[in-house]
């Protein structure tokens, strides 16, 4: 079954439209690999863009934070929201400064955030957030208590109106610039983990779990 999604007038890529991707599977692979999203919203005419962690479950994104935060208070009231995630894959060095670029994958989701009221769904949303960042850690950690759950809000953002944008490959120069003698190509970038550092108060007999010592972002 095709996972192609029909973009709306708001999500159709206008600038460099050949980079637009409207495949739900591709968009989800980008969301699943990312760590941080930026949540944009407007309160009393003032725009805000807040970086925060997130998690995906099916066709929903979940974000969380302090119940007292401005973002959570206002998004929970049902105002429009824009959520973006960007992965940087490389620096593209062209012969012309004008044609320098970056290889990247990004997703924009437009919609309305809804406050998660059901306690079971709220706990599950927090589990998705934890497992998105570090799969396996939730079961190894103390579960949230009632006080912590009360102080935390979770929001659900349906992934209905979205688009992805992808740039991969070598530099693209103007034909006359290919004769200009300078190095051109791509500097690949990747996130890598290093050896875990134990907390000073950690029992030295407890070794770092495999999900920490061999940590890597999941990719499709």
How far is the CA of 186 from the CAs of 40, 89, 105, 170, 178, in angstroms? Answer: 31, 10, 15, 6, 15
pLDDT, position 2: 47
Q: What is the mean pLDDT of the chain?
A: 90
Residues making up the chain, counted from first to last: 220
Instruction: At 45, list the tokens.
Output: 């005419």
| pTM: predicted TM-score of the whole model, two decimal places | 0.89
39, 70 Cβ separation under 8 angstroms: no
Sign of CA dihedral 206, 211, 214, 216: negative
Burial 45-65 (b: 16+ CB within 10 A, else e): eeeeebebbbbbbeebbbbbb
Residue showing tokens 């973006």: 84
Report the alpha-carbon distance of residue 76 to residue 112 in Å, rounded. Answer: 9
Instruction: At 20, list the tokens.
Output: 């637009």
Quick one: average pLDDT of 163-179? Answer: 95
Quick one: average pLDDT of 100-129? Answer: 93
Q: Which domains does the chain show, CATH number per domain?
A: 17-89+104-168 (2.30.110.10)
Tens digits of residue pLDDT in 11-57 = 788 777 777 778 899 999 999 999 999 999 988 899 999 999 999 99
Is pLDDT above 80 for 70? Answer: no
Tens digits of residue pLDDT in 181-192 = 999 999 999 988
């Amino acid at each position: 079954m095709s996972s192609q999604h029909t973009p709306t007038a708001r999500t159709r890529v206008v600038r460099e439209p050949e980079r637009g991707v409207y495949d739900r599977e591709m968009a989800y692979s980008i969301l699943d690999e990312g760590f941080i999203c930026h949540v944009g919203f407007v309160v009393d005419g003032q725009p805000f863009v807040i970086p925060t962690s997130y998690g995906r479950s099916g066709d929903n994104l979940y974000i969380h934070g302090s119940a007292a935060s401005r973002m959570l208070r206002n998004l929970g009231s049902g105002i429009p929201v824009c959520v973006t995630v960007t992965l940087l894959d490389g620096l593209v060095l062209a012969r012309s400064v004008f044609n320098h670029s970056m290889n990247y994958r990004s997703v924009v989701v437009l919609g309305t955030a809804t406050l998660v009221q059901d306690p079971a769904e709220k706990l599950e949303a927090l589990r998705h957030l934890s497992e998105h960042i570090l799969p396996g850690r939730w079961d190894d950690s103390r579960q949230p208590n009632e006080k912590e759950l009360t102080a935390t809000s979770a929001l659900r953002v349906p992934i209905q109106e979205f688009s992805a944008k992808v740039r991969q490959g070598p530099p693209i120069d103007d034909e006359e610039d290919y004769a200009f003698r300078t190095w051109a190509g791509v500097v690949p970038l990747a996130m890598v983990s290093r050896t875990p550092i134990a907390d000073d108060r950690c029992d030295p007999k407890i070794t770092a779990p495999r999900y920490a010592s061999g940590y890597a972002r999941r990719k499709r």
